[in-house]
Each structure stands twice: as C-alpha cells, then as structure tokens.
Homo-oligomer: A and B are copies of this chain.
Amino acid sequence: MTQKVRVGILGASGYGGSGLIERLERHPHVELAALASRQFEGQPLATCWPQFAGLFEHTFQDHESVVEACEVLFYATPHGATAPLVKLAIDAGKNVIDLSADFRLTQNEYETWYGQTHPHPELLPLARYGLTELHREELPGTQLVANPGCNASAASLALAPLAANGLLGENVIAHVATGVSGAGRAPSLPFHFTEVTENVKPYKVAGTHRHTAEIEATLGRAKASGKRLETHRRTAGPVVSFNPHLVPMTRGILATCYTRPEKNLLDSERLLGIYREYYRGDPLIIVQDELPQTKAVYGSDRTILSVRYDARSQIVVAFAALDNLGKGAAGQAVQNFNVVNDFEETLGLQLEGVWP
C-alpha cells in the first residue's frame, strides 16, 4: 500500500480551501496534515466551516507551520500575495499546487495583465499550467503546478478542439455567465445577497478581464500542438474577446463561445464528432448532444461540453458548463495533484453532481 502523502492547504478559510479540504479528506493516499488561515488562526475548523462540524478535526495554523509539516502544499491565497509564499515552499523543497494566478502566465503577460511586477519570475520556468486534459503529459513530477482560472478553464475547454482543428476564426468571443462564489468569501457590496438576486451584471468586459491572457495562450498552443500542450510554448492564436457576466447563483460557469471559422459547410454533428475525438478517454469531460446546463455539474468536478453550428450566420457556438469551485478550482487542483503523483486521475474527486 502507498504511504500517504502529507498535504497542507494555505488559504483554507476561503471557498477554494473548503473544496480542497472536502476532496483531500476523502483521498485514499492523502493525509491532510495542516491548514493555514490568517483570519482563523488558532480556531477550530468548524468555526469557519459548519458543514464539517464533528467530521474533521483541525485547528488553523500559520503559514510557516503548515509548510514545515507537509510535503505538498495547495495555495488558495490571493494573487500577488501568493508568489512570495510559494517561494518559501519551493526553497524548502516542497511541491506546490497553486490556485492563484501567479504562475499561469509568462512574466510579460503577467505584468501586462496584472499591472504589477512579477514578484518571483525566477520560479516561472518551474511552473506547469494545470489545465489537466491539455497538459497531462508534462505534469508528472512537476514541482509547481499553476492551476488555471475558473473562467479560463471553461472557455479553453470549450474552444480547444476548434483550435486544434483549425476551426477558429480570427476572433473568438467567450461569453461567460458565472456564479457568485467565484468572487470569494470576502463580503463586499456587489456580492451582497440583496444586490445579486434578480440581477445579471456584466463586468470587466471588452478586453479588460485578466483571464483573457490564459485563454489566448491556451488557444495558441492548441492551434499549434493539438492536445499535448507545453506550458512554455507560445504561438499566435486568435484574439479573444472575453466577457464575463455575474448571475444570481452560488456555483457554476456556463461559457458560450462564438467564432466564425474560414470554413463553412460545417454541421453540428461533425463538430460533436470532433469534440468526442479530442476528449476521448478524459474521465472528467463529457461531450453530449444536449446543451449543457450548470446544475448538472453542481458540486461536481466534471465539465460538460457541447457545440452547435449556426448555418445561417456560419458561426460555431461552443458551450462548457462546470462548477467554478470544482473543475474551476479545487477539483482540478486535486486532479493535477493526482497526475503529478501518478495516482488515478479521479481519486478524491466528485463525479456526479448534486441535483436538484
């Protein structure tokens, strides 16, 4: 029997953290050894997370103690603040799965889109981009996984088969409807209950949202390399107009992506065949005829894809539904942990969604 891996979570009082706790506590090869939270340091787990009361016993600790106690560290901490913490862990020889944005982009891309100097560019060469299905080949043994953004995961998975098959036009529109938990657990007016109900709100549209850079990088790579992508390769791809919209639900992302390929005379059946072929054997991807809906992946780590050809306008419409806290965050992080460590890819994950 495999010896258990000692794992720790930083930022364990946020929604990324609770998703990690849930998955790692049921992982057969993991000992969830320590949790850090600045806000809850010294307090018991259930003070922060009532759904775990009486089940798991932990007391939140400081960052240093957690790093010291563990072999693998999951960071669910804010971008910018995370890189210096990761630096300490890497220097101590630990393995890192980073859910923040700090190691997803090149130094240039990071500084362009995040408007700040990268705190530790020297670590970037270590990082592998953890969009698991597309980077599975280069993940085993990686010391530093950069887990993708939730919106980027949805849009990239929806569009990669088109990119790989030369079916993207010059431009791509990625329209995303996103649940509120993607904004985290820190209270603020735009996410106050009474301001969110009965409200659909566009935000950071028309080329201003940072996930644009991730999607463009992935589509460029997929255009060049099909499915076996390499983090540090850059190839020109389509320009993406990424337009997120907040919708009144807690979890879930629906990406609806539009592009007009050079080729017309396509049809939905043929496109579905291309998607099925591209994701053949991927245990967390479903390609289906029916249009995806977010409820079908509520609480799940899977992604549902479908695609349509609008023959009147010659536009391809590609859909992805995922749970922003599942495949969009903690689920993919644990999936990457499994691939890095050569465990079965779905260990600890939640496959079926909670319905209704």
> Does any Cβ of B come within 8 Å of A312's Cβ?
yes
A191: interface (CB < 8 Å): yes
Residues of chain B contacted by A304 (CB below 8 angstroms): 50, 53
Stretch from A60-68, A90-98, A173-181 contacting the other chain: A173-181
Hey, what's the 0/1 contact readout for A42-53 against B, CB within 8 Å counting as 1?
A: 000000011111
> A247 is contacted by which of B239, B247, B296, B352 (Cβ under 8 Å)?
B247
| Stretch among A75-83, A114-122, A203-211 lining the B interface | A203-211
Do A310 and B51 have beta carbons less than 8 Å apart? no
Question: Is A352 touching B177 in the complex (CB atoms < 8 A)?
Answer: no
Chain A's interface size range is 35 or more
Chain B residues lying within 8 Å of A291, measured Cβ to Cβ, are: 201-203, 205
Q: Smallest CB-CB separation from A195: which chain B residue?
A: B356
Q: How far is B97's CA from A206's CA once the two chains are assembled, in angstroms?
A: 39
Complex contacts, A315 vs chain B, CB 8 Å: 171, 173, 206, 241
Q: Which of A2-10, A132-140, A254-262, A332-340 contacts B (4 or more CB under 8 A)?
A: A254-262
A187 located at the interface, meaning its Cβ lies under 8 Å from any Cβ of chain B in the complex: yes
Cβ–Cβ contact A196 & B193, under 8 A: yes
Given contact pairs A245-B254, A314-B171, A187 touches B192 in the complex (Cβ within 8 A): yes
Q: Which of A228-259 contact B (CB under 8 A)?
A: 239-241, 243, 245, 247-252, 254, 256, 258
- Which of chain B's residues has its CB closest to A300's CB? B51
B256–A171 touching, CB < 8 Å: no
Known contacts A191-B187, A317-B243; A312 and B207 CB within 8 A of each other: yes
A239 touches B49 (CB 8 A): no
Q: Quick check: is A354 within 8 A (CB to CB) of the other chain?
A: yes
Instruction: Please provide the chain A residues from 271 to 297 with a CB less than 8 Å away from any CB of chain B in the complex.
Output: 286, 288, 290-297
Does A18 have its Cβ within 8 Å of any Cβ on chain B?
yes
CA–CA, A173 and B317, complex, Å = 10
Query: For the complex, what is the distance from the CA of A286 to the CA of B181, rounded to whole Å?
Result: 27
CB contact under 8 A between A249 and B355, given known A181-B194, A313-B171? no
Inter-chain contacts of A103 with B (CB < 8 A): none
CB of A313 to closest CB in B, whole Å: 4
* Residue A38 CB within 8 A of the other chain: no
Q: Are A198 and B311 in contact (CB under 8 A)?
A: no
Most buried by B among A56, A197, A239, A268: A197
CB of A109, distance to nearest CB on chain B (Å): 14
- CB contacts (< 8 Å) of A252 on chain B: these are 198-200
Chain A residues near B (Cβ < 8 Å) = 15, 18, 22, 25, 49-56, 171, 173, 175, 177, 179-181, 185, 187-189, 191-203, 205-207, 239-241, 243, 245, 247-252, 254, 256, 258, 260, 268, 286, 288, 290-300, 302, 304, 308-315, 317, 319, 321, 325, 351-356
Q: Beyond A205-B256, A241-B317, A354-B354: 10 further Cβ-contacts under 8 Å? A: A53-B286, A181-B194, A193-B248, A197-B197, A198-B295, A200-B247, A200-B254, A200-B321, A245-B254, A299-B299
Q: List 7 A-B contacts (CB under 8 A).
A: A50-B304, A51-B296, A185-B195, A197-B197, A201-B254, A207-B313, A251-B356
